[in-house]
Amino acid sequence: MHIYDITAPLSPSLPVYPGDPEVTITPIAQLQWGDAANVSRLVLSSHTGTHLDAPRHFFEEGMAIDSLDLRLLMGPARVCAFPHVTTHLTADDLRPLGLAGVQRLLLQTPNAALWEKTGFQANYIALTESAAHLLVEMGVRLVGIDYLSVDAFECQDFPVHRTLLGAGVLILEGLDLRTVPPGDYELLALPLLLAHGDGAPARAISSCTIACCIGVASQPPYAFGHSMPT
């Protein structure tokens, strides 16, 4: 079995969505100070780095992190790649994926390159409202993306979050999918058990058998995208 750790490490250099606090990790006890152990204070938002959005993020009465069905957060997941897109993903981009029966979908986009840059990058690839509606219609229960929001930065009222979370579709944001070949995996993405949380950082991994990885390498049906501009 091969395991891909698709979690962005929590560190002060991690980009955060504008308005969220920067990650700070402050030692409050240190062996080298003569303390009995090393201990740190963490400052971060519930939507820092790789994290899960619960419906409560946008709906006061929505389900919170500690009420979610854990079965949605573990099980088969498909990683689909859009290596050449230059605009936000639409229903037309997603329709050819043949998502019937896919409950967990992780979207790999050119956002991967943004993790190499310092600070928050507003020009990430997100989803459009049409894409969100299609995912709900197709019965997808969890959607993951490889930067800090499923909504475009320029959006006004977060229609993708509202559509997905309103339909009970969980959102996994801030994934690092740089090393993961498109294909079918087992996903495990467990958020911190934050009481009444609107979201929470998660450790996310995807795993597959070696045979699965070989199959993916020789059969690329999961890579889609607009052709490169000429």
Nearest distance from residue 88's CB to Zn ion, in Å? 17
How does DSSP classify residue 121?
Answer: -
Task: With H, G, I as helix, E, B as strand and everything else as coil, classify residue 160.
Answer: helix
Q: Which is nearer to Zn ion, 192 or 213 (CB)?
A: 192
From the CB of 94, what's the least distance to Zn ion, in Å? 20
Pick the closest to residue 170 from 64, 96, 75, 44 (CA basis): 64
Known catalytic residue: 57?
yes
Give whichever of 66 and 186 is closer to Zn ion, judged by the CB atom. 66
Asked whether 31 and 39 are in contact (CB, 8 A), the reply is no
Q: CB of residue 34 vs Zn ion: minimum separation in angstroms?
A: 40
Name the residue nearer to Zn ion (CB basis): 80 or 143.
143
To the nearest whole angstrom, how small is the minimum distance from the Cβ of residue 173 to Zn ion?
5
Q: Which of 2, 47, 51, 57 is catalytic?
A: 57
Point out which residues bind Zn ion (CB under 5 A): 47, 53, 173, 199
Among residues 199, 217, 215, the alpha carbon closest in space to that of 50 is found at 199
**For Zn ion, the closer CB: 57 or 181:** 57
Which are the contacts of 147, defined by CB distance < 8 A and separation ≥ 6? Answer: 109, 111, 114, 121, 124, 125, 126, 173, 174
Catalytic center residues: 57
